[in-house]
């Protein structure tokens, strides 16, 4: 969707880099969520939004490939491992660049994973997901 009436600041107005809004001038973290469970996607979308992370959702790996071809600038991709047609593992083997995080209900999946930066077992705690997105080590007790 094209917004021709988008507000653009004038070229002469410069935000004060030391002002109270300095943190808000950074680009937001962008995440693509790939899962065939709409309720989980909705919950994660809301939780990430509450932590100032911009997330987009798709229900299949094929939809993820299509979206990434049009809009490749994501900081992380969080994908379910077991989806119809194309698995999250197959999706990961074809992607390069952003952090790749697996979500799975399969506790034993971690040992078999390649191409992922992190693997989280469902139900996932939002703190563990954010740590994985940011590339921070998990704190003890996080899942």
The tens digit of pLDDT for each residue in 69-90 reads: 998 899 999 999 989 899 999 9
143 compared with 54, residue with greater pLDDT: 54
Distance CA 95, CA 2 (A): 28
Which residue is it, tokens 């119809």? 84
Which residues, listed in sequence order, are joined to residue 57 by a DSSP beta bridge?
33
Give the chain's largest Cα–Cα span.
Answer: 57
What is the DSSP annotation of 67-104? HHHH----SEEEEES--SSS-HHHHHHT--SSEEEEEE
The tens digit of pLDDT for each residue in 80-131 reads: 998 989 999 999 998 877 899 999 888 777 666 778 999 999 899 999 999 9
Which residue is it, tokens 């080590």? 137
The tens digit of pLDDT for each residue in 13-46 reads: 344 444 444 445 678 999 999 999 999 999 999 9
Cis peptide before 71 (omega within 30 of 0): no
Q: Which of 135, 88, 86, 84 is nearest to 115 (CA)?
A: 88
pTM for the model: 0.76
Which residue is it, tokens 């917004």? 3
Angle, helix 126-134 to helix 38-50, in steps of 10 degrees = 70
Q: What is the share, in percent, of the chain residues with pLDDT greater than 70?
A: 76
């Amino acid at each position: 969707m094209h917004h021709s009436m988008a507000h653009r600041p004038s070229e002469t107005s410069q935000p004060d880099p030391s002002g109270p809004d300095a943190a808000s001038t950074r680009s937001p973290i962008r995440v693509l969520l790939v899962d065939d469970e709409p309720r989980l996607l909705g919950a994660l979308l809301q939780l990430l939004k509450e932590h100032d992370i911009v997330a987009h959702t798709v229900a299949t790996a094929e939809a993820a490939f299509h979206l990434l071809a049009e809009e490749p600038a994501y900081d992380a991709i969080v994908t379910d491992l077991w989806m119809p047609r194309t698995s999250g593992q197959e999706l990961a083997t074809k992607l390069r660049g952003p952090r790749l995080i697996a979500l799975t209900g399969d506790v034993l999946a971690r040992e078999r994973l390649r191409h992922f930066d992190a693997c989280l077992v469902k139900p996932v705690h939002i703190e563990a997901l954010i740590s994985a997105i940011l590339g921070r080590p998990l704190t003890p007790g996080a899942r």
